[in-house]
């Protein structure tokens, strides 16, 4: 159990971020044991041939049987706009002491393949991770990032409507927030009490955490939690809808009305339905103009939600 102690100032400094390097590191869990990540089987199937050409000796040395990865693979992002090249540069600058400590925190020792001068080991790690990124992530990153960004928009709206406590308690069943204490139930049974102490708490949605996780060592306060909507990432969504409504609106528009019982952005919907953002925006505008959807701006995103008229139409209730 890890517990973060948050003062009132710490509560006001909770931030969201996206880390491409963290996604790379956590994806090793799915590569090592696909059965634990059924939502990512689509990605695993698409990248199977490419993964055979990777430096798996190095990559698998970065993960243990529990699915733990060294903290130097989980940098705290400063914003949702972090670039992978900047994170690779930061990884190459890892000090020898931290490099050894982080690996020992996972394996109890430095794996044989990573023994020797730290700079050489880091160069080999970055080379292996760059290959993983170029072949298995870069082609799909826009879709992945769309899911992660949509999750952040959703959580931000939760805070605005229901408060921070409601949002934190909804991240995952492993996270509980009460009276200034944020508890994360981890696989490691060792109790840890960690005052945030003005460092700020960062929340990272990810595609490769099933129930939530946190740094292995005494790194910056962070919680990694499963992003909403990732189950629909690899297959276009086909939402059941009444045949009569589909006959009037068309399958895609009827599906959008049915899917928007919860607010979502056009970017998220484009990923879920397997259509282009411009096409989904056109459908959404028509449905909003017809009174079947409502829209509201949140930050840089526009969120759409089914209106009362849309709900009545799906239910077969006369307007």
Full-model pTM: 0.75
Look up the domain containing 244 and give its range: 236-315
Last residue of a domain, one of 206, 226, 246: 226
Q: pLDDT tens across 51-87, in order?
A: 999 999 999 999 999 889 999 999 998 777 789 999 9
The reply to whether 144 and 28 lie within a common domain is yes
Whether residue 143 is found in the same domain as residue 258: no
Q: What strands lie across the sheet with 293-298, from one edge to the other?
A: 264-265, 301-306, 293-298
Q: Are residues 183 and 255 in the same domain?
A: no
Q: Within a domain: residue 302?
A: yes
Same domain, 154 and 250: no
Confidence of residue 318 (pLDDT cuts 50, 70, 90): very low
Q: Does residue 110 sit in the same domain as residue 204?
A: yes
Residue 99 DSSP code: H
Do both 81 and 219 map to the same domain? Answer: yes
Last residue of a domain, which of 226, 257, 276? 226
Number of compact structural domains in the chain:
2
Looking at every residue in the chain, the average pLDDT score rounds to 87
**Residues 255 and 112 reside in one and the same domain:** no
Tell me, what's the pLDDT at 242? 60
Q: Are 25 and 169 members of one domain? A: yes
Helix H or strand E encompassing 225: strand 222-226
Q: What pLDDT is stored for residue 319 in this prediction?
A: 41
Does 231 map to a domain? no
Non-local CB neighbours of 204 within 8 Å, separated by 6+ positions: 16, 17, 18, 19, 22, 77, 222, 223, 224, 225
Per-residue pLDDT tens for 119-130?
A: 999 999 999 999
State phi, psi for 39 to the nearest 5 degrees.
-70, -15
Split at pLDDT 50, 70, 90, the class of 237 is very low
Instruction: Tell me, rounded to whole angstroms, the distance of Cα 239 from its chain centroid.
Output: 23
Out of 163, 197, 226, a domain closes at: 226
For residue range 241-291, list pLDDT tens digits in order: 566 677 778 888 888 888 888 778 888 788 778 788 889 999 999 999 999
Q: Which residues contact 82 (CB under 8 A, 6 or more apart)?
A: 17, 18, 19, 20
**Do 122 and 22 lie in a common domain?**
yes
Q: 66 and 33, same structural domain?
A: yes
What is the average pLDDT across 45-56?
A: 93
Buried b or exposed e, range 245-273, using 16+ CB within 10 angstroms: bbeebeebbbbbbbbbeebbbbbbbbbbb
Residues 177 and 262 in one domain: no
b/e map 198-211, b = 16+ CB within 10 Å:
ebbbbbbbbbbbbe
CATH code for the domain of 298: 1.10.10.10
The answer to whether residues 172 and 309 belong to one domain is: no
Q: pLDDT-based confidence at 299, cuts 50/70/90?
A: low
- Written as one string, the DSSP assignment of 114-152 is G-S-HHHHHHHHHHHHHHHIIIIITTTHHHHHHHHHHHH
């Amino acid at each position: 159990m890890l517990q973060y102690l948050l003062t009132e100032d710490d509560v006001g400094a909770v931030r969201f971020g996206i880390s491409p390097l963290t996604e790379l590191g956590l994806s090793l869990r799915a590569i090592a044991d696909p059965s634990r990540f059924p939502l990512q089987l689509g990605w695993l199937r698409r990248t199977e041939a490419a993964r055979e050409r990777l430096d798996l000796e190095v990559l698998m040395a970065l993960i243990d049987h529990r699915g733990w990865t060294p903290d130097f693979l989980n940098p705290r992002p400063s914003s949702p706009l972090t670039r992978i090249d900047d994170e690779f540069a930061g990884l190459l600058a890892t000090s020898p002491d931290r490099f050894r400590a982080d690996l020992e925190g996972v394996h109890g020792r430095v794996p044989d393949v990573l023994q020797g001068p730290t700079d050489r080991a880091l160069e080999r790690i970055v080379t292996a991770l760059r290959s993983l990124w170029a072949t298995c992530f870069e082609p799909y990153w826009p879709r992945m990032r769309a899911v992660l960004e949509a999750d952040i928009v959703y959580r931000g709206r939760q805070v605005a409507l229901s408060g921070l406590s409601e949002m934190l308690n909804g991240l995952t069943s492993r996270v509980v927030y009460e009276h200034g204490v944020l508890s994360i139930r981890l696989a490691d049974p060792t109790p840890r009490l960690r005052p945030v102490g003005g460092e700020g708490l960062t929340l990272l949605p990810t595609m490769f955490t099933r129930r939530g996780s946190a740094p292995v060592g005494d790194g910056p306060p962070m919680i990694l939690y499963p992003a909403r909507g990732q189950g629909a990432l690899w297959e276009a969504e086909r939402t059941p809808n009444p045949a009569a409504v589909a006959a009037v609106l068309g399958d895609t528009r009827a599906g959008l009305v049915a899917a928007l019982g919860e607010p979502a952005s056009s970017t998220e919907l484009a990923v879920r339905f397997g259509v282009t953002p411009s096409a989904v925006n056109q459908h959404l505008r028509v449905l909003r103009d017809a009174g079947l959807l409502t829209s509201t701006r949140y930050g840089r995103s526009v969120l759409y939600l089914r209106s009362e008229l849309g709900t009545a139409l799906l239910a077969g209730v006369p307007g």
